[in-house]
């Protein structure tokens, strides 16, 4: 018998992504989010959801583009800071010493030290409530060579991304392989 | 210097969620997805993206509701099967021996053996391309008592959810704590 609990946002696991934008003065900014995910394979698209009160919201509304820089666990302190401070009154790149690089594909900056970057153009803006969802078409990807396999595909263990546990207010790294996908389930096929 | 790679959907980490629906004949079905995430805090909402060709797509279009059952790693084989087989020609619950339970909140079934369930009503249907995104308001949550902390909030380590690594076609469990959120980043605050 399951217990009923009040609706909340504790579905899991969530990503930890850093959304890069320029403000009106071309100052680069970056904000950490957990409300996002892949939403379409063809064309490839991902979503990020932001509150209207954030500085990044205004920047995306202005230029219609953003990057997603995926942090490695070694940059967890910087990623946490990117979710605490506001670009309204701070230059988060200067504060952390990380390097903003202008995307060659969209008019937005990414975090050079992070291993995997998605360059996105907004194709849908969905007003949902406290959050606005920006659906971005992925127009480009940039990656550090050492996180790519021989076919040029990013490897999760090399990216060393992490997830967010809201209940315990912790970031968790990746764990062991628990199964082969599109494979182990075949035992139930008739 | 980063390497440019062709746009794809290899952003990470992604969830592994099992979407429950009834078909026209009231047969319960469940399908595993990785394209989804939380998209709004107030009201709480989550998204799942599905191809039109899936049986679940038609079922959601018909009744406008779905559940998300989050599998524990101990059910990784069943979860993988739910993503391989189609409800068109299979009763996936019978095949695996898992138990469909009718939600008391929405007209959709969930997987009783999975520890954490979200009961959702579609509030937005966004046509994106190969995938259609269903934004669902979370109207109810049901959880096994042993995955809740003393405040009634689900704990990730007790749920023992896992993530999907598309490049290696593996499921990965959760790893170690790599930092405290809304905390470790304060060192950069002025």
Q: Which residue of B has its CA nearest to A79?
A: B185
Chain segment B152-181, per-residue pLDDT in tens: 999 999 999 999 999 999 999 999 999 999
A43-62 residues touching B, CB cutoff 8 A? 43-47, 49, 51
% of chain B surpassing 70 pLDDT: 100
Contact of B107 with B119, CB cutoff 8 Å: no
CATH of B14-188, one of 3.30.1330.30, 3.90.550.50, 2.60.200.20, 2.30.110.10: 2.30.110.10
Q: Which of B40, B46, B119, B135 is nearest to A129 (CA)?
A: B40
Whether the per-residue pLDDT at B190 is higher than 90: the answer is no
pLDDT reported for residue B102: 98
B67-86 residues touching A, CB cutoff 8 A? 68, 70, 73, 76-85
Which SS3 state, helix, strand or coil, does residue A44 take? coil
Q: Which residue of A has its CA nearest to B111?
A: A2
Chain segment B98-155, per-residue pLDDT in tens: 999 999 999 999 999 999 999 999 999 999 999 999 999 999 999 999 999 999 999 9
Of the residues A3, A12, A66, the best mutation for testing chain B's interface (the one with the most B CB atoms within 10 Å of its CB) is A12
B131 interfacial to chain A (CB closer than 8 Å): yes
Per-domain boundaries in chain B: 14-188
- Contacts of the segment B150-154: beta carbons below 8 A, 24+ positions apart: B152/A3, B152/A5, B152/A6, B153/A5, B153/A8, B153/A10, B153/A167, B154/A5, B154/A10, B154/A12, B154/A167, B154/B115, B154/B116
User: What are the per-10-residue average pLDDT scores of chain A (190 residues)?
Assistant: 95 97 97 98 98 98 98 98 96 98 98 98 98 98 97 96 96 97 95
% of chain B surpassing 90 pLDDT: 99
pLDDT reported for residue B61: 98
DSSP A73: G
Band (pLDDT 50/70/90 cuts) for residue B189 is: very high
pLDDT reported for residue B86: 96
CATH of A14-177, one of 3.30.365.10, 2.40.50.100, 2.30.110.10, 1.10.8.60: 2.30.110.10
pLDDT reported for residue A137: 98
- Average pLDDT of chain B to the nearest whole number: 97
pLDDT reported for residue A153: 96
pLDDT reported for residue B1: 85
Distance, in Å, from the CA atom of A186 to the CA atom of A179, rounded to the nearest integer, reads 12
DSSP H or E run through B68: strand B65-70
Whether the per-residue pLDDT at B45 is higher than 90: the answer is yes
CB contacts, 8 Å: A128 with chain B: 39-40, 45, 123-124, 135
Q: How far is B52 from chain A (nearest CA, A)?
A: 12
Contact state of B170 with A188 under an 8 Å Cβ cutoff: no
Q: What was the ipTM of the complex prediction? A: 0.97
∠A52-A55-A58 over CA atoms, to 5°? Answer: 60
């Amino acid at each position: 018998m399951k217990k009923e609990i009040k609706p909340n946002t504790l579905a899991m696991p969530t990503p930890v992504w850093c959304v890069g934008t320029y403000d009106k003065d071309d100052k680069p900014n970056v904000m950490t989010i957990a409300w996002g995910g892949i939403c379409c394979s063809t064309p490839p698209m991902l979503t990020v959801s932001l509150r209207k009160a954030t500085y990044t919201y205004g920047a995306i509304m202005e230029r219609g583009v953003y990057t997603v820089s995926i942090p490695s666990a070694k940059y967890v302190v910087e990623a946490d800071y990117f979710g605490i401070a506001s670009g309204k009154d701070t230059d988060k790149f200067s504060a952390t010493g990380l390097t903003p690089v202008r995307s060659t594909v969209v008019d937005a900056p990414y975090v050079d030290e992070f291993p995997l970057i998605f360059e996105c153009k907004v194709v849908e803006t969905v007003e949902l409530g406290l959050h606005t969802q920006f659906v971005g078409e992925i127009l480009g990807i940039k990656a550090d060579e050492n996180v790519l396999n021989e076919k040029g595909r990013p490897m999760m263990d090399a990216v060393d991304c992490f997830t967010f546990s809201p209940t315990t207010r912790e970031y968790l790294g990746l764990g062991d392989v628990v199964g082969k996908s599109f494979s182990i389930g075949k035992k139930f096929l008739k």
